[in-house]
Amino acid sequence: MSAGGSEHRAGGSEGARSLLSSVRGHGDPAADTGWEGHPPRMGFFTDTSVCIGCKACEVACKEWNQVPEDGLLFTGMSFDNTQGLSADSWRHVAFIEQRKPIADSQANLGDFRWLMSSDVCKHCTDAACLDVCPTGALFRTEFGTVVVQADVCNGCGYCVPACPYGVIGKREDDGRVFKCTLCYDRIGVGMEPACAKACPTDSIQFGELAQLRERASERVQRLQEAGVLDARLYGDDTDDGVGGAGAFFLLLDEPEVYGLPPAPVATTRYLPAMWRGAAVAAGALLGAVAVSVAGRR
């Protein structure tokens, strides 16, 4: 993975600086970082309305990517033993139990429902983790996804607080960071990611991002017409704080219910303006010093 990325990409920190200085919210992030003749941007659309909580995606992700087992512990949080995304959990299926009346035109279905959702790295258009990486361990692939090269990571951890979703984590044994790669090795040879391949209900859908967004909009419209008025998309808006996500979701409640930030913003979004402000302030200070020295003379 690292060899292919280093050979064709724009270069780790150089590519990050290019992305940071480019127009935020660009629909073609791979082009922004120097890829020529790249394929269409690929991504995930997760339709939580058909997720059954089987955790097949979690298992497939661990098996294919050889992600270490992170403890089959009883957490007391429903049937959720992984609790959240981490260096050793690249997919996390959330179980949310709600007391909410559910009924259709035929029968009363009670006042209890499950909300289930398979969370994953969002592969943001404006990826703050990529912006702050000093070694080039994080890079933008030709598919517009964001991947960590473990053999280049120095464990500095800058990317961990930079992620507005709290996706990236460090492993305790060596301090390096790991996260979902959107199965870069699989999609590079025409295969779909392991999690999407294993999903029995097509809750996780993989494909060209533009097509997925069209499909998701149609799905939301059908659900709302069927009376599911809470159905909404999360992460599909290219004008949001991260320029649109490469992995977005259909939710049946507010994002906070699923443990997702309601209005995520790339933590490096305002750095260029801050640097310009600092430069102006420094220039003004130097000018004032020069005037003072000249006055004394």
Annotated domain spans of the chain:
2-266, 268-297
Q: Tell me the average pLDDT across 130-151.
A: 95
111 vs 182, which has greater pLDDT? 182
Predicted confidence (pLDDT) at residue 10 exceeds the cutoff of 90: no
Q: Tell me the average pLDDT across 228-237.
A: 95
CA 154 to chain centre: 21
Predicted confidence (pLDDT) at residue 189 exceeds the cutoff of 60: yes
Question: What CATH number matches the domain at 2-266, 3.40.50.720, 2.70.98.60, 3.40.50.1390, 3.30.70.20?
Answer: 3.30.70.20
254 vs 16, which has greater pLDDT? 254
Hunting for tokens 């990486």 — which residue is that?
A: 133
Q: Quote the CA–CA distance of 139 and 14 in Å, as a whole number.
A: 10
Q: Tell me the average pLDDT across 254-267.
A: 94
Strand 138-140 relative to strand 112-119: parallel, antiparallel, unpaired? unpaired
Q: Tell me the average pLDDT across 54-81.
A: 86
Q: Quote the CA–CA distance of 26 and 243 in Å, as a whole number.
A: 7
Tell me the chain's radius of gyration from C-alpha atoms. 22
- Confidence category of residue 293, pLDDT binned at 50, 70, 90: confident
pLDDT at position 177 is: 96
Q: Tell me the average pLDDT across 37-56.
A: 95
Predicted confidence (pLDDT) at residue 68 exceeds the cutoff of 50: yes
> Cβ distance 247 to 123 under 8 Å?
yes
Report pLDDT digits (tens) over 154-167.
999 999 999 999 99
Among 202, 238, 249, smallest CA distance to 25 is for: 238
> Cβ distance 255 to 10 under 8 Å?
no
Within 10 Å of residue 265's Cβ, how many Cβ atoms? Answer: 14
Q: Tell me the average pLDDT across 29-58.
A: 91
- Compute CA distances 57 → 10, 38, 62, 120, whole Å: 32, 28, 9, 10
Share of the chain above pLDDT 90, in %: 63
